Amino acid sequence: MNESIAGYLAATFMGFVLGLLGGGGSILTLPILVYLCNTKPVLASSYSLWIVGVTALVGAVKHAQKQQVSYQVALAFGIPSLFGVTLARGVLLPSIPEQICQVGSIQLTRDLVILILFAVLMIVAGVAMILQKQVLTESSERELELKNLDRSKIAFLVAEGLMVGVLTGLVGAGGGFVIVPVLVLLLGVPMRIAIGTSLAIICGKSLAGLLADRMFWADANWHFLIRFTLASVVGILLGSLLVSKVSTRPLKVGFGWLALLFGFFMLSKELVF
């Protein structure tokens, strides 16, 4: 495995964005591992669960120390997410054959399916971050009381948590770009608390996914993983320090464009070139 300096610098950037925005940064982990560190896609998705889980844990602890984590919401969203990621990692992913079929000149493999799915996810995430409503920025500037969770909101949280969990299990992305807007717009959670809660949810479901991932425990390169994870932890600590001092809206839009470009790059690389 070519453990390039660029890969470790990119890991630090990923952690920085995750700490600053509460999501989005983890979506870079798989392409960093595949294209900069020459890791096979399925194994890279396993590595991503570990890296994102540990990095998010550090960030969540920092926010918890400032009382910026809603444990009520974390449980309502997190429990179905744990089920979803375990289902995807333990059942769905292993059931996909390594060689699926031939489509024209393209040999459709499990690795290729994961990369295509991830590229589409990056494009969707990029568009969502670029078009995100101004209310997200406004909510960070005023204190909102957490609204009572009625049945309809609980049902939505459960469905959303299950969906994000399955997504995490398949491609190793944290899903914070979905979690934070749901917490702010649906529940009225202040942005700082939404970021901390998102990190707690990401941590729980990512590490839970590893418990059902036999490939990770059999093939993990711990020497590489520890160094890569340390680089991302440095980034999230820096991001957590700056989260209350900078406006995140321009950063979110800029990162949205970056995710969009990465997504189209991955599609063109895997399907065209």
pLDDT for the residue 149: 60
pLDDT for 140: 44
Which class for 98: exposed (0-12), middle (13-18), buried (19 or more C-beta within 10 A)? exposed
Q: pLDDT truncated to tens, each residue of the chain (273 aa)?
A: 445 788 899 999 888 887 777 666 667 888 888 888 888 888 888 888 888 889 889 889 988 988 888 888 888 888 898 888 888 887 887 787 877 777 777 777 877 888 888 788 778 777 877 776 544 444 444 444 445 566 777 777 788 888 888 877 777 676 777 787 777 777 777 777 888 888 898 888 888 878 877 767 777 889 999 999 999 999 988 888 876 676 666 777 777 787 788 888 888 877 775
Q: List Cβ neighbours of 106 (8 Å cut-off, separation of 6 or more).
A: 112, 271
Sequence-separated (6 or more) residues with CB below 8 Å from residue 246: 20
The residue range of the domain holding 101 is 5-271
Instruction: Please name which of 86, 54, 56, 23 lies closest in space to residue 225, comparing C-alpha atoms.
Output: 54
Domains contained in the chain, number: 1
Residue 258 near residue 126, CB atoms below 8 Å: yes
Residue 103 pairs in a beta bridge with 106
| pTM for the predicted model, two decimal places | 0.75
